[in-house]
Structure 1
């Protein structure tokens, strides 16, 4: 019905999982729901509020929706993983929701001999801070309803809910509609002089990019998503002259604003949602590069970073980018530069657009020479936006306090933008490669035969067996 009349879907989940007594019929019911989630993806916004347990198959529907919120201390999401081994030593990976008639912590205890609580396994703190499954958590059920779905539930909870509409009011009804527009009393030409001095003189000194965002958007109102996860990148919704915009910004206050695996995924998902529902994207750039290290490289940072680039390149909505300070190397390439079909690309005078920072570049280029003098020379030549401006890579070097006015003008200019992607079935986004090693790194499996109680291996033996099998098959 929601797809037919083009309105959003809001789900309130409180489920213990599939009903075991119904057998495969209950699984079919779940799968029918999952299919509809997939078919509605990109057609109408889908929002889920987890207001109790969501175990086993019940977690897949929230995972397929656009935004999942949880309630602190009372909502849980978990899916148990068990590895079975056949007689031919070919591994089959099966995700079980009702193993031996138990869920979550009980399954973990039986299989991995680990005592965990529901909160430790899949509480709001886990999914908002570590897994990134949930984009936010609320104090209680009433707060969740008020903030996520107030427009729908106001008529039913009018006496109890008095908060302003927040999240839902940023979204259009469907992919065929433009985002809602509200009356705005914040003038376009409002000038925030604080912005002219908000960037520290020392490029290694951090600042809070949320302060920049709040001084540019309407009335300083910014609805941040995934606030506690992948903090080096900030994403969320705001308004400019009453119209919804999506904001993506590097956060120098955390890890110097570097991009890592989680922040790349976070940004890519948000950009694709905005593109699905005609929401213009404003990007504020201050990024020194990608996070180095073996953990990131072995975790697939190349593939995950490519997701963010893919999302920006594929997006056809208005895209406006402002370089606040650093824009180095490969990270510059993925943060919506003009080369990825961006509509407007600006830099503040503090912008540093280069392959890398001065110190690292001089160490490579000028070995054995006067490093201090060469570093100063490099900074004068490259650690500024003028080189990029001369080559036409940026449209203008703008005064920070004029940023709001310029963005508002551009949003008005590009509001009827009509850009089409090449005709194709769909693109092949660089998604995760499901390697057997990924599973090995996540859990310590038990190899279980038909009678699992009499054929259990100790964890060390299982690890040796598992690793030997991988090496033999490679």
Structure 2
């Protein structure tokens, strides 16, 4: 007696399930410049590492002999594979079936994605393309009995999404139109990316918007990359799907598998004593001139290791991941080319979220300080900058990972406190100017009456600014042991490499979940 016939039937159903929406539907998808969900998974994971869960999830139409004559697969594909030989849960909508709007089996698989990652304590990667729930079929007869909703005893499916964010790295890619629940999942990620010409992210699509608001609009106008890179909804832009895969793999390379581990250090060929001569002249002596902070970052971290996130959101602040002598670190800094590096409401939110990710996954933080203060003016007030800014300050001072702050130029006011943690390591460059207020603003406030009454107000203003500038020099704080050291800018990498070695004994104590108090 053999089960060969049943196994052959199983293989037939597996084969039909792999057909997705059918050859014509897949071909149309390709003509739009997109990969199918199975092609996305295969191109993302290490070669031949994918192990699908629920291979025949879906629905079969049977003949009189109970053999499948057709099959409608679950339109969410889910399983486990490897990324750089580390286990990763991966899944995504199949847009070739119902435009990615979940069918019954697809919804179950979709909901299980976070459970799979949490259960096995492995990162989760989502490839999103779909519109969430839909209204279709025949309208229900209100006179007929029916069962609606979910049982009162069923666990809320949103809860596991929050649990996953506190336990494992979560990365998502928008690779086509993403609306409704998939859009919610996209933002519930530690890293998100969208493709340049093919992806849009929307709470609801154009048809719903037009019906509700009587406002005709296209998908791209509503939620294209030009909208959401600046809104902060997505972190990065990818030129195509392959670039999205590359960016997610790079993001995961800085992360541990879960909060119960540390990211492994990797061998580093970049000399720890390397000193970049460009750092000696990167900061202009004229305080009104700008410079490129990213040049400083690239000169300090391991060569080629800096991976910036959210570059087009909160333009005055820089956030990204890098390595120092093989150690994964978070890097933050100011970009003085925008708002002189001042912290706007968007910039504050960007930095706070980044600090919390680093705390969650035990990444030491390196902060390059050129902070003139919170952005001022009516727009800043209407955006609640002081509230968002204070939240960032508290995130910094309550951060549990080791910090190294390098003061390269300005550090003023309350916003300056967002660049230092409790018991952090602080280095300064000779170019530093720090205080409660920028000299220009401080003079304008303290000598307002005298300036107004002077025979030559601008000359008097300039005289007072110059006198106060002479009193601010970097030697005083170093001589007072108010900072750990005043260094030659070229020594920054060697100092930070030494610091990375020093903090190694602290990192194992960070393992485990983190908690945050209420922040404004």
Query: Does TM, normalized by the shorter one, top 0.5?
Result: yes
Aligned to 2:160, what secondary structure does the other structure show? Answer: helix
- For residues 210 and 362 of structure 1, the distance between their equivalents in structure 2, rounded to whole angstroms, comes to 31
- For residues 426 and 406 of structure 2, the distance between their equivalents in structure 1, rounded to whole angstroms, comes to 6
TM-score (norm 2): 0.70
Q: Deviations over 1:434-464 (max 9, x none)?
A: xxxxxxxxxxxxxxxxxxxxxxxxxxxxxxx
Q: 2:481 is matched with which residue?
A: 392
- Number of residue pairs aligned between Structure 1 and Structure 2: 384
Q: Max radius of gyration: which structure?
A: 2
- For residues 70 and 11 of structure 1, the distance between their equivalents in structure 2, rounded to whole angstroms, comes to 12
Q: Deviations over 1:109-151 (max 9, x none)?
A: 222222211011111221112x1110012122222123314xx
- For residues 515 and 409 of structure 2, the distance between their equivalents in structure 1, rounded to whole angstroms, comes to 39
Alignment partner for residue 355 of structure 1, among 422, 436, 449?
Answer: 436
Q: Deviations over 1:331-375 (max 9, x none)?
A: 212222xxx304201110000011112222223334527444332
Deviation, 1:195, is 0.2
Retained in 1: the 8 A contact 2:405–2:426? yes
Q: 1:116 is matched with which residue?
A: 217
Alignment partner for residue 277 of structure 2, among 187, 193, 214?
Answer: 193
Q: 1:10 is matched with which residue?
A: 125
Retained in 2: the 8 A contact 1:169–1:180? no
Retained in 2: the 8 A contact 1:232–1:254? yes
- For residues 348 and 443 of structure 2, the distance between their equivalents in structure 1, rounded to whole angstroms, comes to 28
1:37 corresponds to 2:161: yes
Q: 1:381 is matched with which residue?
A: 471
Retained in 1: the 8 A contact 2:172–2:192? yes
Q: 1:429 is matched with which residue?
A: 519
Runs of at least 5 residues in structure 2 that lack an aligned partner in the other structure: 1-115, 138-146, 455-459
- For residues 208 and 196 of structure 2, the distance between their equivalents in structure 1, rounded to whole angstroms, comes to 23
Aligned to 1:326, what secondary structure does the other structure show? Answer: strand
Q: 1:24 to 1:414 in 2, by over 3 A?
A: farther
Q: 1:114 to 1:146 in 2, by over 3 A?
A: same
Q: What is the RMSD computed on CA atoms of the aligned residues?
A: 2.5
Deviation, 1:58, is 2.2
Retained in 2: the 8 A contact 1:47–1:67? yes
Deviation, 1:34, is 2.6
Retained in 1: the 8 A contact 2:359–2:514? no
- For residues 194 and 246 of structure 1, the distance between their equivalents in structure 2, rounded to whole angstroms, comes to 23
Alignment partner for residue 57 of structure 1, among 166, 181, 188?
Answer: 181
Aligned to 1:236, what secondary structure does the other structure show? Answer: strand
Between the two structures, name the one with larger relative contact order (CA 8 Å, sep ≥ 6). Answer: 1
- For residues 500 and 349 of structure 2, the distance between their equivalents in structure 1, rounded to whole angstroms, comes to 26
1:19 corresponds to 2:134: yes
- For residues 325 and 305 of structure 2, the distance between their equivalents in structure 1, rounded to whole angstroms, comes to 12
Q: 1:145 is matched with which residue?
A: 245
- For residues 62 and 303 of structure 1, the distance between their equivalents in structure 2, rounded to whole angstroms, comes to 26
1:105 corresponds to 2:229: no
Q: 2:494 is matched with which residue?
A: 405
- For residues 18 and 10 of structure 1, the distance between their equivalents in structure 2, rounded to whole angstroms, comes to 21
